[in-house]
Amino acid sequence: MEIEQAKVLAERYLARFSTAEEPLAFYDDESVDDLGWCFVFPWNTVRYIETRDISHVRGPGYGPIVVVKDSGDTWMMGGFAPEDEQLSAYAAKHGISPGPNL
């Protein structure tokens, strides 16, 4: 799966949490991590991305959105456990070799 396809899936997933009062968006494409087996899309409120004013941060408890390249499985990491642990646990549960990027 290419990043463009993954971004469409991630956008659909993020739209479930976005509201007119608090629209959500991804950071720029350079912020996306390609871990070999998945893409990791960081996101936040549009207001925070535009202003970097901490009062507009979404959270706590919300993490980046992950799109698995082979399956298209899309999920949001939690905001409390370390990302590497969450990614490793998902990979182990689904028989994915996380590779050196994790």
* Amino acid, res. 53: D
Residue 61: what pLDDT? 76
C-beta separation of 90 from 82 below 8 A: no
Rounded Cα distance between 5 and 85, Å, is 25
**How remote is the C-alpha of 94 from its chain's centroid?**
18
- 1-45 pLDDT, tens digit each: 999 999 999 999 999 999 999 999 999 999 999 999 999 999 999
Q: Is beta strand 33-34 parallel, antiparallel or unpaired with respect to 74-78?
A: unpaired
Tokens read off for 30 = 């350079």
The reported pTM is 0.91
Domain-wise residue ranges, the chain = 3-93
